[in-house]
Amino acid sequence: MPSTRFKQLSVLTMNTIAFTVCFAVWVVFAIIGIPIAADLELNETQFGILVATPILTGSLLRLPLGMLTDKYGGRPVYFGLLVSVIVPLWLLAEATAYWHFLVLGLFVGACGASFAVGISYTARWFTRERQGFAMGIFGAGNAGAALTKFVAPSLVVAYGWQAVPKIYAVAMTITAIAFWFFAFPEPERRVASRVTFRDQLQVLKDPVVWKYCQYYSLVFGGFVALSLWMTKYYISEYGFDLRTAALLAAIFVLPSGIIRALGGWLSDRFGAHTVTWWIMWVSLASLFFMSYPPTEVVIRTVDNGELRMTLGVNVWWFTVLLFIVGIAWGFGKASVFKYLSDEYYGDMGVVSGIVGLVGGLGGFFLPIMFGAVLDVTGVNSTAFMLLFGVTLVSLMWMHYSGERGRDRAGRSQVAPGVSE
């Protein structure tokens, strides 16, 4: 019979692999959406809706699937979710009309709810002292977005965009089979069968939950939004081709996913508040400079001549700042869920579902807002102006909620049946 340690590592490994594949699928329109938009002659707002559609269902399903995970366990819920997206993903290759892509995108987007299932399933296998690191490793599956940035452009160039969803469907099938054989039921489900879904939703009355939702709408919602938007941004703003633009965008996506495990470790060591406080300030400073559009200033001198100055961030400095933001948000995604594991251990499924839902909705609405504001102003950097505003709101809320300089006292529960 496998030891508890073996089961812990096996579950964590399969959860992380499954989440990586799900995340790669969830943001697939970031790449295939570009040739689709060209074929269908979509404007910026329509493109924003196209890439954001899968994010909507993936976000809305996080709460109900998180609740189901609390009641029935992570293994059956996760497996059912993986299987459910295989057919619509394959059918994407056969779509021809805009509404086809939107409808199928809604079904494919269900895989985005894998986070709420996997984070709760992972947390139950580890003690509170190790949950931050374990959840950070699981959350590194966000790097699936980088996987799409690396793999999908080459597939599009070599075989056409239709090959991408078919190959992804095969990968999802293999992942689902492996998951079923190498995952194990958790030691004990945390919600008794007599507890109703209405009882679970009582946590919505806690205002602290909504504060964490705000934080996550930036560090995760902003991450998803830029994962979807940055390839197109590099093409339109700096004139790169698809593969080069996707590679540059991966500089943001890849470290933001991988660094999450370190963010979990730092949150375990220094506290969730301390880590979150600093990543907000780093984000605010970086987004300030990224928001500045290329500007030419003409200064009239004393001899009636003109002094011309060009202000703005060139592509290399922009990419450095984007990398810094990616690192900061990678830490932030881990620190927010460290808050949750400290305070809501027994309700991790439903609370992570709520916070994940709101964060995912940030990833849904932001690309649409990016496109709409770009259509109105014609200024690419307005996307970063919006993100600067969201960051400022988060910092103000954190400051005025009275948590500066301290971390909320965490609970001391340890998962039943799980050893140190």
- 258-308 pLDDT tens trace: 777 788 788 878 888 888 889 999 999 999 999 888 777 778 877 777 777
Least confident of 18-22, 30-34, 345-349: 345-349
Q: Assign 408 a pLDDT band (cuts: 50, 70, 90).
A: very low
Higher pLDDT, 295 or 315: 315
Distance CA 15, CA 204 (A): 27
Higher pLDDT, 259 or 113: 113
pLDDT at 355: 84
Q: Provide the token pair at 260.
A: 């999450």
Which of 191-224 are b and which e, b meaning 16 or more Cβ less than 10 Å from the residue's Cβ? beeeeeeeebeeeeeeeebebbbbbbbbbbbbbb
Please compute the mean of the pLDDT values over residues 55-60 and round it to a whole number. Answer: 88
Q: Assign 397 a pLDDT band (cuts: 50, 70, 90).
A: confident
Please compute the mean of the pLDDT values over residues 33-37 and round it to a whole number. Answer: 92
Is the pLDDT at 107 greater than 70, yes or no?
Answer: yes
Q: Which helix or strand (DSSP H or E) is residue 295 part of? A: strand 295-300
Higher pLDDT, 259 or 407: 259
pLDDT at 273: 83
Q: Assign 410 a pLDDT band (cuts: 50, 70, 90).
A: very low
Distance CA 221, CA 216 (A): 7
Model confidence over 118-141: pLDDT tens digits? 888 887 887 767 777 787 788 778
Distance CA 102, CA 78 (A): 24
Cα–Cα–Cα angle for 134, 140, 142, nearest 5°? Answer: 140
CA 134 to centroid of chain Cα atoms: 17
Is the pLDDT at 156 greater than 50, yes or no?
Answer: yes
Exposed/middle/buried for residue 257 (C-beta within 10 Å: 0-12, 13-18, 19+)? buried
Number of residues in the chain:
420
Distance CA 342, CA 337 (A): 9
Whether the CB-CB separation of 314 and 240 falls below 8 Å is answered with: no
pLDDT at 22: 94
Q: How far is CA 154 from CA 79, 193, 231, in A?
A: 29, 49, 14
Model confidence over 179-226: pLDDT tens digits? 999 988 877 655 555 555 566 666 667 777 888 888 888 998 898 889
pLDDT at 419: 34
Cα–Cα–Cα angle for 284, 289, 294, nearest 5°? Answer: 150
> What are φ and ψ of residue 132, in 5° steps?
-60, -45
CATH architecture entry for 4-183+197-400: Up-down Bundle (1.20)
Q: Assign 388 a pLDDT band (cuts: 50, 70, 90).
A: very high
Q: What is the mean pLDDT of the chain?
A: 83
